[in-house]
Amino acid sequence: MIATPAAEFSTDKGATRPVLMDLKNITLRFGGVVAIKDISFDIREGEIRAIIGPNGAGKSSMLNVISGFYVPQQGEIWFEGQKRPPMKPYQVARLGLARTFQNIALFDGMSVLDNIMTGRLNKMKSSLFSQALWWGPAEREEVENRAQVEKIIDFLEIQNIRKTPVGRLPYGLKKRVELARALAAEPRILLLDEPMAGMNVEEKEDMCRFILDVNDEFGTTIVLIEHDMGVVMDLSDRVVVMDYGRKIGDGTPDEVRANPEVISAYLGVAHE
Ligand SMILES: Nc1ncnc2c1ncn2[C@@H]1O[C@H](COP(=O)(O)OP(=O)(O)OP(=O)(O)O)[C@@H](O)[C@H]1O
Ligand SMILES: [Mg+2]
């Protein structure tokens, strides 16, 4: 039988897509604490890649390594086939990475719209001088920024709160605004640190739907830290499992669910 393009892009995105980011032998220490111990894994174009593990396993630290916020003592990060030199987080952002935080990091006094606009800062090329004069490229850029932000506001269904100060919003909506701000950067890779923590069932369902829609409609690669195993199993193409800074599992949701080391880490049974 002749393979159709549809067959090539089957549901198993993790196995069929090209590697976008390759993390090789990453070790990260904080003084005497080894937060990440010699971990390697890759992230493929267009997949939803989950990182799971018990509290303190090193998941947020790993996201911070990917985003350039922490520079590991050992290991290499390859992006699109090139070794990434040590970079500042804003330089990594320019490569096309955007993130949300485990604890919400928005400007409470600013409106939803203005918070989302801050996500465009990395995209702005024209100087403050030309922006002040409102000329040529700066004007075009402003129009483009506004259009992109409006698209995201529609997409995440937050039109009715666009002028509301973020500090007045309930928790679930704040998380959605954080996602909107990250999307405003039009990232290649979106890093989400526990986007559903503290949400009620309905808010979680909404967030799940938005994550899947972002992945589907924009083709955005997503790296997701999440504690709710049901959510992880539903959303992700592949899962990395961390425990005490080590990688103890890596594969499809079904594979990691059947992995004895993963089961024992989650059940709190002593390792053999
Ligand atoms: N900035 C830091 N300075 C010192 N130690 C840190 C720092 N950040 C993390 N750690 C330590 O590194 C280890 C991993 O922490 P990390 O926050 O990455 O875990 P996590 O898997 O995200 O946990 P949680 O599920 O609770 O969010 C922990 O022992 C933590 O105390
Ligand atoms: Mg964490």
* Same domain? 83 vs 168: no
List the CATH number of the domain containing 69. 3.40.50.300
Report angle CA 64, 219, 137 to the nearest 5 degrees.
85
Q: Could you tell me whether strands 97-100 and 246-251 are parallel, antiparallel, or unpaired per DSSP bridges?
A: unpaired
- For ligand 1, pick from 33, 51, 228 the residue to mutate: most ligand atoms within 8 Å of CB: 33
- Lowest mean pLDDT: which of 71-85, 118-132, 164-178? 118-132
Distance 62 CA to ligand 1 centre (A): 9
CA distances, 93 to each of 7, 96, 98, 206, 258 (Å): 33, 5, 6, 26, 36
In a domain, 103, yes or no: no
The predicted-structure confidence for 62-97, as pLDDT tens digits, reads as follows 999 999 999 999 999 999 999 999 888 888 988 999
Domain count, the chain: 2
What's residue 6's pLDDT?
42
Instruction: Name the least confident of 8-22, 105-119, 144-158, 187-201.
Output: 8-22
* Domain assignment of residue 105, yes or no: no
Question: pTM of the full predicted structure?
Answer: 0.88
In a shared domain, residues 6 and 37: yes
The last residue of one of the domains, among 171, 186, 201, is 186
Please check whether residues 58 and 142 belong to one and the same domain. no
- 193 and 88 both lie in a single domain: yes
- What average pLDDT score do residues 25-35 get? 97
User: What residue owns the CA closest to ligand 1's atom 26?
Assistant: 55
Q: In 3-state terms, the chain is what percent helix, strand and coil (to 5)? A: 45, 25, 35
Residue 242: the pLDDT is 96
The pLDDT of residue 178 is: 95
Q: What is the mean pLDDT of residues 140-153?
A: 88
138 and 271, same domain (yes or no): no
Pocket of ligand 1 (CB under 6 A): 30, 33, 35, 53, 55-61, 102
Average pLDDT, the chain: 88
210 inside domain: yes
Same domain, 194 and 90: yes
- Distance in Å, CA 104 to ligand 2 centroid: 13
Domain co-membership, 176 together with 231: no
Question: What range defines the domain where residue 271 resides?
Answer: 1-96+188-272
The ligand with the least distance to the CA atom of 244 is 1
